[in-house]
């Protein structure tokens, strides 16, 4: 174990020392190990879970030197009283945009794409393209950082009903984009900010044209396989292996209510999400991904990561960014521990929060198998900050 990791672990052990008398103790003068750290975090997580009403929570912690672990607390299936385990997968929602953005940036490094390429250069031959809001002015950059002014497709009239009506439907990109065709743009390209999966549906098409390979095949070949992220797979079918049951808030945009997995199959086809997210993850591998991505391990040149982390202001915009800026597929926050790079994710029945703290070289992933606000009681980002106080100390 490297010195950096031991130093972080030592801080964590001290931070947790008074939190749980039942936690395993480290002998005076002994060097705390990853096992000590995992045990301490497990106790802290169980303490949180004991006073909560959400079914289950998984946490992944990863260090830039390659050390990582996952812990879980609560239930993967409430009716069957099945415990959630660290190797269970949860739907990560829009956190998948970090993977899509990484593929697009790799294609840019290879000279196939450019940030200022017009979308029309790649998908302008599609019969529906001219009807997309702002079509002539759309660029790869504006799609990546949500400054393209496109409405959210699943907010379109009839979209939610179509998604829930036929759980067997396999969605083509044109089927999703149909709900924004001929709509008024929210603002001219580059003159505002509005979060929308619609931007990444178009990006997915561009990436497929530029890479001449299906998007998720590229994610697997370029990212998941070389980085040994075996706990992360495409959520492109209803029977996702080792998926914890989700519990949906009836107030969610798709109107689902309660249990989202019945007899081992999701009640809707998660393939509808595609480039807007589209991954099932374990928290441990999700945290590992953050360290690899934000330490620049997925790119050939340091300038690529630097470009990814150039943010645009989101404070006056629409959507879920935690502010104050959004880069190329990444939420950039100011925290008590310096900047953090990551993303939030939602899919009916699941919430995810991911953050990498470059000043501490530590990533934290938190995943819940519910999106019921009254059950969670506070935002997943707040839970992540609570964990950061445990892992990183009180901060500044």
Map 262-307 to HEC letters: ECCEECCCHHHCHHHCCEEECHHHHHHHHHHHHCCCCCCCHHHHHH
Mean pLDDT lowest for which of 126-130, 332-336, 376-380?
376-380
Dist. CA 153–CA 95, nearest whole Å: 18
Q: Are residues 60 and 89 in the same domain?
A: yes
Burial 164-174 (b: 16+ CB within 10 A, else e): beeeeeebebe
Q: Is residue 290 part of a domain?
A: yes
Q: Are strands 279-281 and 265-266 parallel, antiparallel or unpaired?
A: unpaired
CB atoms within 10 A of CB 302: 9
Dist. CA 107–CA 204, nearest whole Å: 12
Answer left, alpha or beta for residue 324, where phi above 0 means left and psi between -120 and 50 means alpha: alpha
pLDDT of residue 28: 44
In contact, 223 and 99? CB cutoff 8 Å: yes
Q: Are residues 274 and 368 in the same domain?
A: yes
Q: Are residues 60 and 138 in the same domain?
A: no
Percent of the chain with pLDDT over 90: 73
Question: Is the pLDDT at 22 greater than 50, yes or no?
Answer: no
In contact, 367 and 61? CB cutoff 8 Å: no
pLDDT of residue 319: 61
Q: Is 18 exposed, middle or buried (0-12, 13-18, 19+ CB in 10 A)?
A: exposed
Percent helix, percent strand, percent coil in the chain, to nearest 5: 35, 20, 45
Q: Are residues 384 and 241 in the same domain?
A: yes
Q: Which of 189, 216, 243 is the last residue of a domain?
A: 216
Q: Which of 216, 248, 267 is the last residue of a domain?
A: 216
pLDDT of residue 32: 59
Q: Are residues 26 and 146 in the same domain?
A: no
Mean pLDDT lowest for which of 121-125, 276-280, 343-347, 390-394?
390-394
Q: Are strands 279-281 and 90-91 parallel, antiparallel or unpaired?
A: antiparallel
Question: Is the pLDDT at 102 greater than 70, yes or no?
Answer: yes
Q: Which of 216, 247, 279 is the last residue of a domain?
A: 216
* Bond into 324 cis (ω within 30): yes
Mean pLDDT lowest for which of 15-19, 44-48, 333-337, 383-387?
15-19
pLDDT of residue 31: 46
pLDDT digits (tens, 9 = 90+) for 41-60: 898 888 888 888 899 999 99
pLDDT of residue 20: 41
pLDDT of residue 390: 81
Dist. CA 141–CA 149, nearest whole Å: 12
Query: Which tokens hold the place of 220?
Result: 């697997």
| Domain containing residue 129: CATH number | 3.40.710.10
Q: Which residue has the tokens 């519910």?
A: 370
Q: Are residues 51 and 195 in the same domain?
A: no
pLDDT of residue 354: 98
Query: Which tokens hold the place of 231?
Result: 């706990």
Q: Is residue 21 part of a domain?
A: yes
Q: Is residue 223 part of a domain?
A: no
Return the SS3 of 82.
strand
Q: Is residue 345 part of a domain?
A: yes
In contact, 109 and 156? CB cutoff 8 Å: no
pLDDT of residue 39: 84
pLDDT of residue 239: 95
Owning domain of residue 302? 44-96+230-392
Q: Are residues 36 and 49 in the same domain?
A: no
Q: Are residues 262 and 383 in the same domain?
A: yes
- DSSP secondary structure letters along 17-50: TTT-TTSPPPPTTPPP-HHHHHHHHHHHHHHHHH
Q: Are residues 197 and 49 in the same domain?
A: no
Q: Are residues 34 and 48 in the same domain?
A: no
Query: Which tokens hold the place of 283?
Result: 């928290």
pLDDT digits (tens, 9 = 90+) for 283-297: 999 999 999 999 999
Q: Are residues 239 and 306 in the same domain?
A: yes
Question: Is the pLDDT at 98 greater than 70, yes or no?
Answer: yes
In contact, 93 and 99? CB cutoff 8 Å: no
Q: Are residues 296 and 203 in the same domain?
A: no
Q: Is residue 319 part of a domain?
A: yes
CB atoms within 10 A of CB 182: 10
Mean pLDDT, the chain, as a whole number? Answer: 89
Q: What angle do CA 124, 162, 268 make, to 5 degrees?
A: 105
Q: Is residue 351 part of a domain?
A: yes
pLDDT digits (tens, 9 = 90+) for 212-254: 999 999 999 999 999 999 999 999 999 999 999 999 988 877 7
Return the SS3 of 145.
coil
Confidence of residue 21 (pLDDT cuts 50, 70, 90): very low
Q: Is residue 225 part of a domain?
A: no
Bridge partners for 75 per DSSP: 83
Mean pLDDT lowest for which of 1-10, 93-102, 226-235, 337-346?
1-10
Total domains in the fold of the chain: 3
Dist. CA 284–CA 335, nearest whole Å: 22
Q: Is residue 224 part of a domain?
A: no
257 or 333, which is more confident: 333
Q: Which residue has the tokens 């404070």?
A: 315
Confidence of residue 389 (pLDDT cuts 50, 70, 90): confident
């Amino acid at each position: 174990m490297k010195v950096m990791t031991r130093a972080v672990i030592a801080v964590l052990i001290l931070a947790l020392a008074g939190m749980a008398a039942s936690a395993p103790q480290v002998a005076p003068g002994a060097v705390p190990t990853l096992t000590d750290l995992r045990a301490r975090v497990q106790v802290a997580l169980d303490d949180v879970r004991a006073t909560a009403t959400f079914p289950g929570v998984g946490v992944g912690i990863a260090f830039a030197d390659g050390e990582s672990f996952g812990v879980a607390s609560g239930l993967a299936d409430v009716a069957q009283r099945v415990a959630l385990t660290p190797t269970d997968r949860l739907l990560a929602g829009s956190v998948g945009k970090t993977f899509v953005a990484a593929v697009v940036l790799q294609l840019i490094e290879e000279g196939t794409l450019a940030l200022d390429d017009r979308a029309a250069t790649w998908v302008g031959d599609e019969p529906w393209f001219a009807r997309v809001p702002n079509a002539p002015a759309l660029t790869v950059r504006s799609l990546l950082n949500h400054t393209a002014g496109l409405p959210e497709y699943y907010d379109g009239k009839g979209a939610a009903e179509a998604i829930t009506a036929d759980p067997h439907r396999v969605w083509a990109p044109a089927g999703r984009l149909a709900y924004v065709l001929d709509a008024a743009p929210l603002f001219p390209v580059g003159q505002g900010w509005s979060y929308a999966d619609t931007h990444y549906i178009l990006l997915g098409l561009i990436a497929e044209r530029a890479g001449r390979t299906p998007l998720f095949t590229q994610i697997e070949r370029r990212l998941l396989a070389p980085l040994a992220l075996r706990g992360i797979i495409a959520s492109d079918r209803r029977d996702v292996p080792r998926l914890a049951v989700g519990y949906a808030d009836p107030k969610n945009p798709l109107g689902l209510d309660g249990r989202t997995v019945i007899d081992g199959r999701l009640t809707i086809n998660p393939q509808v999400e595609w480039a807007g997210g589209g991954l099932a993850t374990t928290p441990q591998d999700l945290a590992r991904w953050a360290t690899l991505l934000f330490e620049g391990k997925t790119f050939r040149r340091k300038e690529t990561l630097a470009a990814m982390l150039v943010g645009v202001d989101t404070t006056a915009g629409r959507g879920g960014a935690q502010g104050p800026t959004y880069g190329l597929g990444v939420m950039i926050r100011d925290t008590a521990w310096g900047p953090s790079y990551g993303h939030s994710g939602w899919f009916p029945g699941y919430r995810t929060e991911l953050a990498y703290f470059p000043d501490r070289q530590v990533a934290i992933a938190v995943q819940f198998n519910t999106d019921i606000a009254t059950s969670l009681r506070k935002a997943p980002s707040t839970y992540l900050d609570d964990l950061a106080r445990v892992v990183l100390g009180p901060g500044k």
